[in-house]
Structure formats: C-alpha cells, structure tokens
Amino acid sequence: MSQTSPTLALPFLQPSQAQKHVTHNEALKILDAATQLSVLAADLTDPPAAPAEADCYIPAPGATGDWVGHAGEIAIYVNGGRQFFAARQGWRADVIPTGATLRFDGSTWAPLTGDLQNLPEIGVNTTADAINRLAVAADATLLTHDGSGHQIKVNKASATDTASLLFQTGFSGRAEMGTTGSDDFAIKVSADGSTFSTALRVDHGTGQVAIGTAATDQTLSVAANAVEPTIQVRNMGGAGGAAFRMIDDVSTGDWKFKIKGDGSFKLRNQTAGVDILDIQNAPYTAIFQGPVRLPGYTVATLPDPAVAGAGAQVYVSDEAAGAVTAFSDGTNWRRSTDRVIVS
C-alpha cells in the first residue's frame, strides 16, 4: 500500500501507528500550502531575511542560502521555520503582488497565458460586438514597427466589396477613404452619414486622378461645379504672387501662368525665359512679346458679325481690295483700313 496520496502526496496514517497526529498535521500543512496556492514572489534567488508567518514563495533557479536545492519548490514559513513542498505538474500559483498566474510544467514555473488565436471578440476598455469584433476605447492607439517598417492591411473578398477607413462624428460617417465598391481609391465626405460625395478618385488601372468628377480620361480631371472646372492656386501671405506651372518632360516645354505681386498677370515661357503675355493690373493693358495672329477667314467663311460681337477682329485673305484685317461693328464686318464693309 502506498504511503502517500497520489496527487498531493499527503502522508497516510498507518495501522497501529504511534503519534498519528504528527502524520495528520503534516498532511494538513501540505493541504494548507498547496490548496488555492498563492505566493509573494517566484523570481527571488535569495530567501527573505525576516519572513512573516505563512509567507509563501517559489524559489527561482539559482536559489541561495536556505533555498539551495529547493528551486521550483514551494517554500512556506510556519512555526518560525521553513518548509518545502515539491510541486506537481499542472499546479498553478497566483503571484499576489502582480496578479500573474504561473503554471508548473514538471520542471519550471511559467506565466499562464490563454489561447489568443481565433478569439471571437476583443474589447479593450470597451465592449466588442459581432460587427466590431475588435473595439478599443482610448485617447490614442499605437501601432509601431518590430525592427523595421510597419503596414496596416485592410483586405476585402472581391473588388465590389469595401476596404476603407471610416471617420465618424457621434458614430455617424463624415469621411471615408479606401476602395469602396471597386478597386479605385477614393476619398469621400458626407454631411449626414448616409449620402457621400466623392472628392477624389484614383483609377486603379491607370493611376489617373479625378477631383470632383467621375471622369478620368486625363491624368488629372477636375470638375468643381456645373459651370466650369476650377483649379485654384492661392497665395496665403507669401511674397511674389501665385503661379500655376505646366512642364512636359518629353518636349522639355515649361510654361507658367502667374499673378504677380502687384496683381497683374503674365504667361511666361520658362524654357526661353520670356514673358509672352503681360496683362497690367491698372490700366488693364495687354503686352505681347512678338506678333499677334488673328484668325483667318475668306469672305465666304466669315462668321456672323453679330455672334462674334462688336469689336471682334479677323484676317480676311480674299477681300476684293486685297487681304486685310477686319472688325465687327455688331452688324457687319468692316475693313480696318477704311471702315468699308467687307465684300
């Protein structure tokens, strides 16, 4: 017959045993130490100098002093002395100061961690639900690198699904960026959380950009309203005015439209370093660098002078008196030389 119990190794009373209370009390001490096991520390190698009654520890590997040879065992102070009990595989201990739970695997004590794979929901300082399976309530959320770079990946099943970041006010959507309903990247805004307007869209196949419009027939397509597309370049306080520049790397063409600091406007050939057109702010005078070419017509192809408007000018190549410039008086085309109606 075994002398101890199989799980906690509690000593059994033997037939005709003298001083049975000694064996019984020893079993109670083991029960007292092992049941609902809690310790003050499990990472100390030096035994405390003045432990209190019932203080319990798990000596760490490399234990010294009275703990030599008892690393990993349960050390409890009772009746002014130290007692040691060997742990069994699977035992758990609560570390009182930290709240950590340790598990003994048969040779070492290790922190007990749950299975963090395939969890249905996680709520950090808030409650997750079936839709928001990861929910965080905090002043900020930090995602940082683990040695080099870091990516945030938002994956969807098919092109017609949505993969996006949604910005809300009072849990009502106000702005969204991502691939919504297609693989084109879009930035959308909303005033009510239900109707969204696309502010910018990038075609996923060509990289063409559309601002305020669905069309991407050009590298950049802009539509501000129903009247005319507008690209606005604003000077917010700097010196020298504001400019819009067009550069063609293939032809090396380089042109700039600019409002100068005095409010006048100029069209400049940056490649040649020449101002082709300079419109003065006051008085409103246009200065051209080089000759000005008027549109050319024959007498038979002249446009309606009323439609062209009074003051319009053209070049007539086959006027009866010879090629001549002409102007519209609102009713007829007249030769610039003598005001005679073109015939």
Mean pLDDT (whole number) for 105-133: 91
Mean pLDDT of 147-168: 97
Contact between 189 and 179 under an 8 Å Cβ cutoff? The reply is no
Which sign, positive or negative, has the C-alpha torsion 219, 220, 225, 229? Answer: negative
228 exposed, middle or buried (CB, 10 Å; 0-12, 13-18, 19+)?
Answer: exposed
Segment among 16-30, 82-96, 222-236 with least mean pLDDT: 16-30
User: Residue 261 in 3-state DSSP?
Assistant: coil
Neighbours of 284 (CB within 10 A): 9
How do residues 171-190 score in pLDDT, each as one tens digit? Answer: 999 999 999 999 999 999 99
Mean pLDDT of 222-234: 73
CB contact set of 315 (below 8 Å; sequence gap of 6+)? 293, 294, 295, 296, 297, 323, 324, 325, 326
Beta partners for 123? 135
The whole-number average pLDDT for the span 150-167 is 97
Please give the mean pLDDT across all residues of the chain.
88
pLDDT above 50 for 96? yes
Those residues whose C-beta lies under 8 Å from the C-beta of residue 25, and which sit 6 or more positions away, are none
CA dist 257 and 279 (Å) reads 11
Query: 1 falls in which pLDDT band (50, 70, 90)?
Result: very low
Whole-number pLDDT of residue 262: 82
**pLDDT number for residue 166:** 97
Can you tell me the mean pLDDT for 128-136? 96
Q: Would you state the pLDDT for residue 85? A: 85
The predicted-structure confidence for 290-318, as pLDDT tens digits, reads as follows 899 999 999 999 999 999 999 999 999 99
Asked if residue 257 lies in contact with residue 267, where contact means CB atoms within 8 angstroms, the answer is: yes
State residue 224's pLDDT score: 66
For 209, the 3-state DSSP assignment is strand
Q: What is the pTM of this model?
A: 0.57
What confidence score (pLDDT) does residue 30 get? 59
